[in-house]
Structure 1
Amino acid sequence: MPQYFDRRNLDFLLYEVHDAPELTKYLYFEAHDRETFDLVLDSVTQIADTLMHPHYRDVDRNPPELKDGKVTVHPQIKPFLKAVGEGGLIGAGFPFGKGGQQLPEMVGACVDFIQMAANNGMMYTGLTSGAANLIATFGSPALVDAYVAKMLGGQWQGTMALTEPQAGSSLSDITTTAEPQPDGSYRITGQKVFISAGDLDAVDNVVHLMLVRIKGAPKGTKGISLFVVPKFRLEEDGSFVDNDVTSTGIYHKLGQRGTPAMHLTMGDRGDCHGWLLGEANRGLSYMFQMMNEARIAVGITGAAIASAAYCASLEYARERPQSRRLNEKNQLDSPQTMIINHPDVKRMLLFQKAIVEGSLSLLLESARLSDLAHVSKGEEKENYTLLLELLTPVAKTFPTEMGVRSVNEGLQVLGGYGFTEDFPLEQMYRDIRITTIYEGTTGIQSQDLLGRKMTIQGGKAPRLLFAEIDKTITEANTHETLQPYAKMLGEEIQRLQKVTSTLLPFAQQGDYERFLMDATLYMELFGLVTVAWQWLKQGIVAQNALSDNSPGESNTDFYEGKIQTMKYYFHYEVPKTLGLAKRLQDPEVLTIVKEREVKM
């Protein structure tokens, strides 16, 4: 079985860096320990090894088809959903009282990572879990009883139905409408597009969490409500009938072809019914819970695909002979060397490793904050929540944007073979591209980071983050070998703060277009610095282990590899902040439309 993720690295991050077992001291997580965490990870790995990864290429080459109004997906999807449902993995993070295992989000993030590394084309369970969680959180007892158990059991699929043909990220422009009915339901009319897993024959029902405007509601986002709109609705006699949700079209995609992206039409026959979730006109605030969860999940998907690509690249580089080392190029009688020994190939592999393991650490940091926010109270809870809100757009963006670059480097390692279907890199390159677009493009995430999260509560969130980073710098300074990197990170924090101070006056003056003009560059700068923090945290743990002089030969190699990759990140990736900071502080404006716009 080819490797697609590194379990040793996953254990290192989960247990040694982020100390997941510490959460079990809280009442909510006390039923668990490292043994139960390992059992869950072993279980999902077994499913990934047998039901997912062997079908990676076949799922891509046999995409869903829409015929006579029905969507047929790859036959492997059904046994996969049955296995994860019966194994309790879809609702692993749900409370015991709602059919879950009450596991930490940190463990849940690892479950998602393993699945997506094995076969990201089978991207179904995260959508179902997120939709079921919204129903469990905001739904009436009747809605919870009707939907949640079937969804967590893998029998019913869940979706998030936001986008419309005329309203992409601008959700205030949605036109799908709801009209109250005497039986308490609402009649739904409209269209939704790009609905992942919006229809499939591998489940008995599809449950859409749909943003809709009730007739007469206020304009803009204040008038949006959230509805449960099933493909088949339950009648009073216990039967299920067609709910007038029509699969109008299926999008043929660049990648992630195993999951259908649907164009749906509701109410063609005037018989589509939906049920209000929570209070009217509060739908967007409810949906943001699922959207934020989905943003982290997309970041996990980016890191997971990059992980699979790194494993494939590393395997190829270790087995592919090519030429001689540069200092021996004239020794034609000597055997060829493996390409992993060439400096430029080594650089590309180190880049991949640095991005994959740095991204995963950032994602587990975010999951840890979610867990701590869940079990805390008062100001402590507020602080954890603020930190999570600040890191969410970064945790979505860095693993996806840098993941694309990482897979690109992997393809380059394989050379001409990387461009062929003989190896999986070409598919991974196609698959990962969508992750920078899912749940809000990089531009949207960047505006969220700079325009909202950096200024929330007078800048409290970044102050909390910088305080956490300062703790890591202080700890790193206790190791002489890490002091140069602690110094570098401290300088990067100062640079980031200076850039932020340069931009904030534009917001204070009300010139938001100028303030957010280069928000995407700001995101790139912020991400590089934040992941440098994560690499210094990993470096501290690795150095502590090496200083003990008792890790064993295999562990010594592992920890030394961590130190080497940390050094690579600081010496190769962190210096890129210099150019970004220079541009962000440059007064020259080139992208804001003027009255007399220069033609392009």
Structure 2
Amino acid sequence: MATPAYSRRDLAFQLHEVLHAEALARFPYFQDHDRGSIDLVLDTAGQFAETLLRPLLTELDRREPQLVDGTIRLHPGVRPIIQRFGEDGWISALFPYEEGGQQMPHVVYSAAVFAMQATNYSASVPPFLTLGAANLLRSFAAPALAAAFTPPMYAGQWQGTMALTEPDAGSSLSDITTSAEPTADGYYRMRGQKIYISSGDHDACDNVVHLMLAKIKGGPAGAKGISLFVVPRQRVAQGLPTGLETPADLVSNDVVTAGIYHKLGCKGAPIAHLMIGGADDCRGYLVGEPNKGLSYMFQMMNEARLAVGVSAAAIGTAAYHAALEYARARPQGRPIASRDVAQPQVPIIRHADVKRMLLFQKATMEGALGLLLQCSYYMDVAQVAEGAEKENAELLLDLLMPIAKTYPSEMGVLSTSAAIQVHGGAGYTTDFPVEQFFRESRIHPIHEGTTGIQGLDLLGRKITQHGGRAVGLLLAEMQAAGAAAGAHPELAGLAAQLAKAVGTWQQVTGHLLAVAARDHERFLADATLYLELAGLVVVAWQWLRQATVAQQALPAAHAADQDFYRGKLMAAQYFYEYELVKAPGLAKRLQSANAVTVDMQEAWF
């Protein structure tokens, strides 16, 4: 059996020893999810990944989707996978029992998704998109509308999408032009086009249900006039679906696939260019109230941003484990201190520079996973708690979301690149999976809000909203982590380094807020670098928490676990010695009076 693409032991460590996820069972909604049930979910996810997803890892990459006779054709192995996602309850797992769900905590679900996507990212994309679309419907649509579309989505029979982007309106959604005209029959007549729609059309399901942003004719201009609609690729002839329809009962809804984008990676999940209402016969159904579409979509976008972080960390982790396996098996050279060519070559993992690259991957990806699971835990508390506990979780989650999306995405690209470097020339060939991981990782800094957009969100909105209360809560969490680490003399140095880095971050924040008062363009010019600084500090906080648990557990651990815990402690040291030390350089740049990017003129390029 092939080496797993992730560490099951690390998932257990992060969920049980660091986060104590089973403590969520104190809330009635999660009372059935004790440690045993959580472990069962992780084991089931691992088996699902190994038996269904791993066999198609390279095939989906080599056999790209094709647009044939107006429909995107996928590898024939994708349909059974999507169906199993539905049959096994993965699409509806987060939802209440009365809706056929499992009331699974987000933190457990994120860990399970991580395991699947580390094994085969492309194959897992379509059903998880359906989850997001279905959740949007169940949250905001009228009950009859949600009941018409969600059952076949939960079952893996119908695909769900989020249809936002247009040719002249990428991140600037206020500029969309897709229109919706009300009719006397209760539906809207839709016209426009959408591009880069993930899983926007394919033959691995019976229908595609688009959650589409559009503007009702005569409504307010800009973002205030955006509404949300259900626009299926196929519809029943009259009225809404009942759930009893077969594919033969459906007719075209005038949503035409005009093209398919051939991507750098993630080729098992197609991206479509859609033309809507070209024959003036496309019906859309309003979700919720008119002109509130953007606020509704933000729910799916926020969930999607956390999901992007999980996906990025999963691929980066898969690359790490592939590089680790290769480094242990590949003999080359001898220890630097030995010049005796008569001695046998040693595995490259014994060379310090190779260990540096592997430590970089381990430290960034396991740190990123810690942050993502932490955010998922806050999401659970925000969902079911009450009063101050609920409010605090909401504030922390909102503040950390841009970092949770971006840090894994940017570091995932670097992790997969390091994996290729560990392989040397072999990593640049299709003989090993790391070149595929490198290509697949590149999408994550782009979709669901580019890194630049996330930087603007963090610095321009999240830091100051609610009077800065979220920042205060996060600082308190970091101080608590430092105090816990301080109980162990071995970690006192790391705790002091984190405190210093937090002080640097606070100083930079104060400086930039002063700049904002006199020059808003300069204030936000380096928001991406500010986001990078925040990411270093936040992940350092996560590593201090992991190191504290490892240090406390080490004395009583058996041999295998001692290796695991020592690996955690060394990865924490690496992060502080090699990554967190970048913070002062970023701080110097962010406090400089020299605004290079603002002052540079187009003609000078």
The normalised TM-score by structure 2 is: 0.97
Q: Does 1:97 align with 2:105?
A: no
Quote the residue 1:34 is aligned against. 35
Task: Please tell me whether residue 537 in structure 1 is matched to residue 545 in structure 2.
Answer: yes
Cα deviation, 1:58-79, whole Å, max 9, x if unaligned, reads 1001011101101111111111
**Counterpart mapping for 1:346-425 below 5 A:** 346-425=355-434
CA contact (8 A) 2:257 2:272 kept: yes
Is 1:149 aligned with 2:151?
A: yes
1:525 counterpart = 2:533 = yes
Contact 1:99 1:149 in 2 (8 A): no
Of residues 495, 500, 503, the one that matches 2:504 is 495
**1:26-425 to 2 correspondence within 5 Å?**
26-122=27-123, 123-236=125-238, 239-328=249-338, 330-425=339-434
Kindly indicate whether the alpha-carbon contact (under 8 Å) linking 2:67 and 2:260 is maintained by their aligned counterparts in 1.
yes
Determine what percentage of the aligned residue pairs are the same residue: 53
CA distance in 2, matches of 1:446, 1:258: 30
CA deviation map 1:272-331 (0-9, x unaligned): 001000100000000000000000000001000011100100000000000101111x21
2:586 alignment partner in structure 1: 580
Q: What letter is aligned with 2:536? A: L
Tell me the residue number matched to 1:18: 19
How far off its partner does 1:2 sit?
A: 2.6
Instruction: Name the amino acid aligned to 1:562.
Output: K
Supply the AA of the counterpart residue of 1:191: Q
CA distance in 2 between counterparts of 1:344 and 1:533 reads 26
In the alignment, structure 2 segments of 5+ residues that lack a partner are 240-244
TM-score, structure 1 as length reference: 0.98
Q: Deviations over 1:84-133 (max 9, x none)?
A: 11110111111112221100000110121111101111211221000000
Indicate if the aligned counterparts of 1:47 and 1:83 stay in contact, CA closer than 8 A. Answer: no
Q: Name the CA distance, whole Å, in 2 between partners of 1:337 and 1:597.
A: 53
Distance in 1, matches of 2:44 and 2:333, equals 43
- Contact preservation (8 Å) 1:98, 1:136: no
Q: What stretches of structure 1 move > 3 A for 4+ residues in a row?
A: 235-239
The letter of the residue matching 1:286 is Y
Corresponding residue to 1:444 among 435, 453, 458: 453
In the aligned structure 1, how far is the partner of 2:599 from the partner of 2:77? 50
Question: Is 2:64–2:268's contact at 8 Å kept on the other side of the alignment?
Answer: yes
Residue number among 560, 568, 583 corresponding to 1:554 in the alignment: 560
Give 1:598 shift. 5.2
- Offset at 1:506? 2.5
Query: 1:255 & 1:261 partners in 2: Cα distance?
Result: 11
Separation in structure 2 between the aligned mates of residue 83 and residue 114 of structure 1, nearest angstrom: 16
TM-superposed deviation, 1:463? 1.0
Which AA in structure 1 matches 2:202?
L
> What CA distance in whole angstroms lies between the structure 2 residues aligned with 1:325 and 1:170?
55
The code of the aligned residue for 1:64 comes to P
Secondary structure class of the residue paired with 1:326: coil
Q: Deviations over 1:334-374 (max 9, x none)?
A: 00011000000000000000011000000000000000111
Describe the SS at the equivalent of 1:473.
helix
Q: 2:32 is aligned with what amino acid? A: A
Cα separation, 1, equivalents of 2:399 and 2:62:
39
Q: Distance in 1 between matches of 2:20 and 2:602?
A: 54
CA distance in 1, matches of 2:493, 2:581: 14
Match of 1:455 among 430, 445, 464: 464
| Structure 1 residues 464 and 173: alpha-carbon distance in aligned structure 2, compared to 1, 3 A threshold | same
Distance 1:290 1:569 in 2: 32
Cα distance, 1:513 vs. partner? Answer: 1.1
Query: Cα deviation per residue 1:198-234 (whole Å; 9 max; x = unaligned)?
Result: 0010101100000000001111110000000001112
TM-superposed deviation, 1:507 = 2.3
RMSD between aligned alpha carbons?
Answer: 1.1
SS in 2 for 1:187: strand
Aligned partner letter, 2:318: A
Q: Check the 8 A contact 2:27/2:385 in 1, yes or no.
A: no
1:389-421 Cα offsets, whole Å, 9 max, x none, are: 011110000001011111111110000000011
Unaligned runs of 5+ in 1: none
Q: Which whole-Å CA distance do the structure 2 matches of 1:377 and 1:240 have between them?
A: 44
CA distance in 1 between partners of 2:118 and 2:258 (Å): 31
Question: Quick one: distance in 2 between partners of 1:506 and 1:235?
Answer: 59
**Deviation (angstroms), 1:597:** 5.4
Cα distance in 1, alignment partners of residues 343 and 436 from structure 2 = 36
Whether the 8 Å contact between 2:429 and 2:435 is mirrored in structure 1 is yes
What secondary structure, in the 3-state scheme, does the structure 2 residue paired with 1:233 have?
strand
Q: Which residue pairs with 1:4 in the alignment?
A: 5
Shift of 1:590: 1.0
Report deviation, 1:459.
Answer: 1.2
Superposition deviation, residue 235 in structure 1: 3.2
Distance 1:300 1:522 in 2: 22
Q: Secondary structure at the match of 2:193?
A: strand
**Matched-pair contact (CA < 8 Å) for 2:214–2:226:** yes
